[in-house]
Structure 1
Amino acid sequence: MKAAYFDGSKILVTHDYPDPKQGETLVKVRLAGICGTDLEMIQGYASYTGVLGHEFVGEVVKSSNRNLVGKRVVGEINAGCGRCQMCTTGLERHCTERTVLGIYKRDGAFAQYLSLPEKNLHVIPDSVSDEQAVFVEPLAAAFEIEEQLKIDINSKIAILGDGRLAQLIARVLGINHKNMACFGRHQNKLQLLSKLGVQTKIGILPEDEHTFDVVIEATGSESGFLDTMKLAKPRGIVVLKSTIASKNKLDLTPAIVNEITFVGSRCGPFRPAIQALASGVIFVDDLIDSVYPLDRLNDALDAARDSEKLKVLLKP
């Protein structure tokens, strides 16, 4: 099959990549999204080799469950062993034996086909387009924040970043919270948030420092972590969303002095993400910049790296 294979140093499209393994549900990929994690992995994050890509929508072509065949699906990316305490308590994402689609020991979505266990798949309703469905995985990651934290309705929230994930986080938190500010660097991206009623800022001013109850870091850069220290109140909460290929040491002294609580946050619940798209509570169409065929992978990656762009999709 056609697939984009990353050998640890470079990524190339090949037309004779092995088909996905037998014994799982086989999915023909209709669209895949390029995210910040994919770009970081190409730079060395996670030391992965294989097919990248974990945001996708596809059509089931083979499954032990006949009712799934022909259905459009998205998939949860963590596949656990199914036996350990983490798996039996619903935390497969923390199973020590897990594989992760396009990230760890499991080929991903930058290919014509992928495979996942049936239980990982969610059927997409007809009211959700393919382009919208690609956002389910990152949108679920945005919903995860309030799964982990019960944020008080009156809390003052800062979002650092104006890119793909930050946009989704602002839209999800905006359902229940109005006292939010988004700190970014790109006026065109911040304008999308301004239209939603989110206060936007370029740069941190002295009057912003140490005034926020909750700070969510979604910049995809090292500087984002340092900026959280400027914005969080003493004893505030910092939610870390970025996965960054960095070899630099970060000074945690300000976090200790100000008794900051850090929350690492990754994957989240798919059902509320799908429901939000189907009901129109969350709108994502304005975040899509372009769609490239897999044969133009390098052009797609260049576009995804462009700081002025938001979501770039691949069509295998």
Structure 2
Amino acid sequence: MKAAVWTDYNKVELQEVPVPEISSTEALVKVHSAGVCATDLEVITGRFSYGRPPHILGHEIAGEIVAVGADVEERRIGERVVIETSIGCGTCRECKNGDRHLCSQMEEIGTAPHQGGYAQYVKAPADNLVLIPDNVSYDEAGIVESVVCPVGGLMRLGVRFGETVLVYGVGPAGIAFIQGAKAMGAGKVIAVARNDERLQRAKKFGADLLINSKKEDVREKVMEFTGGKGAGLVCEAAGSGATTRSAFECVKRAGRIMLYGIPNKDQANEFSSLDIIMNQLEVYGVLGNPHVWEPLLTLVSSGRINLKDMVYTALPLSEINKAFELMEDPVKKPIKIVVHPWEE
């Protein structure tokens, strides 16, 4: 089969590799669409240390089951599925509670030793396969993983009906927070970013107020919009020290802050515990969530979450390096790109 193999830092090559062999509890999936994730770009360039080459990356995967192991009962050949990529030990408390993403031994499809979805076929535990609704395309399903974490955080913590939600960042996670908050009953959503062109796309996905943090005072604009109270829920998806500090300045007293963006190590301590205590704040970390895949796909199927317009373009697997080049553009970086392993 053909696969885009990460062979060295800053180098990805299209190669012929063996089709994966499945165990009795696994399924073989023919990949129809794989979302290209910014994290993989960071890994390939060496900016983020997460495994070593050679390896097949790709953890946003949708396709068709073409084979199942002898012990697989719930999944069938021919089913359209998206792959939930976290793999736990199966025996710890977290795994038994259904929280395999919190397993201390958690591994992920797309990270060694598990080959990923930038290939024509990928194998996965059958329990990790989630059915795709008939009216949801492979390209939409192929980027579900990038939306699961933000929307999963909102589902876990809840959005209070009518409250104002402030979102930092308008990449895939930021757009997911905006859409998820609106779908769950937010009154108004404020989007903050550093570029006008990227900010405008947030409006398309439901943002009510756009703030350019390079040109405007974010706290002043938020307070003006909220009558001096601040936002009830703040979602930090940009991952910078400046936006984290700003989040604590713009949340209302007794409000909630969700931290999702990963800051650099030297920016990881950008708020004071005194702020949390004196303002009675609730601060949450947001990570993947296995319980969210089916509810999220239901929201997509019903039209409450728009994944179709998040996909900028689809490229053949042979052009995956073009996808990475497009994602390096700091101004026009697409929300999402998918690759099609079976197209020439």
Give the TM-score, by structure 1 length. Answer: 0.89
Question: Alpha carbon RMSD of aligned pairs, Å?
Answer: 2.4
Tell me by how many angstroms 1:151 deviates: 3.4
Shift of 1:104: 5.3
Q: Percent identity?
A: 27
Cα deviation for residue 20 of structure 1 reads 2.6
The separation in 2 between residues aligned to 1:73 and 1:101, in whole angstroms, is 15
Which has the larger displacement, 186-195 or 87-96? 186-195
2:43 corresponds to: 41
In the alignment, what sits opposite 2:273?
Answer: 256
What corresponds to 2:309 in structure 1?
286
Is 1:225 aligned to 2:244, yes or no?
Answer: yes
Whether 1:53 aligns to 2:32 is no
Contact 2:140 2:311 in 1 (8 A): no
On the 8 A contact 1:156/1:179 being kept in 2, the answer is yes
Matched position secondary structure for 1:122: strand
In structure 2, the residue matched to 1:187 is 196
- Give the partner amino acid of 1:90: G
Q: Mean alpha-carbon deviation: is it higher for 127-136 or for 258-267?
A: 258-267
1:231 offset after TM fit, Å?
Answer: 2.5
Matched residues in 2 for 1:158 and 1:70: separation? 42
Q: Distance in 2 between matches of 1:38 and 1:262?
A: 28
Q: 2:179 aligns with which of 158, 165, 171?
A: 171
Alignment match, 1:300? 323
Tell me what 1:3 maps to: 3
**1:300: how far off?**
0.9
Match of 2:98 in 1: 90
Match of residue 237, structure 1, among 229, 240, 256: 256
Structure 2: 5+ residue runs without aligned partners?
A: 224-228
Q: 1:47 to 1:137 in 2, by over 3 A?
A: closer
Match status 1:267 vs 2:277: no
Give yes or no for contact 1:8–1:48 (8 Å, CA) kept in 2: no
Give, as a single letter, the amino acid of the residue that structure 2 aligns with 1:60.
I
1:312 maps to 2:337: yes
Deviation at 1:264, TM superposition (A): 1.4
CA shift digits 1:263-310 (9 cap, x unpaired)? 111213101111111111222222221112121121110112223122
- For the residue of structure 1 that corresponds to 2:16, the secondary structure is coil
Say which is worse superposed, 57-66 or 186-195, in terms of deviation: 186-195
Of the candidates 63, 67, 79, which is equivalent to residue 68 of structure 2? 63
Indicate conservation of the 8 Å contact 1:241/1:266, yes or no: yes
Q: Distance in 1 between matches of 2:113 and 2:194?
A: 35
Aligned residue-pair number: 314
Change (3 A) 1:101 1:199: same
**1:200 corresponds to 2:225:** no
SS in 1 for 2:272: helix
Pair 1:243–1:41, CA change in 2 (3 A): farther
Q: Aligned to 2:179, what secondary structure does the other structure show?
A: helix
TM-score scaled by length of structure 2? 0.83
2:138 to 130, 140, 143: 130
The residue aligned with 2:226 is none
Larger deviation, residues 213-222 vs 86-95 = 213-222
CA distance in 2, matches of 1:104, 1:44: 17
* 8 Å CA contact retained: 1:178, 1:198: no
Unaligned runs of 5+ in 1: none
Amino acid in structure 1 at the alignment position of 2:324: L
Output one character per residue of 1:87-114: Cα deviation in whole Å (capped at 9) or x when no partner. Answer: 1111111112222122454221111211
Query: CA offsets, 1:104-142, max 9 Å, x none?
Result: 542211112111110110111221111211132222223
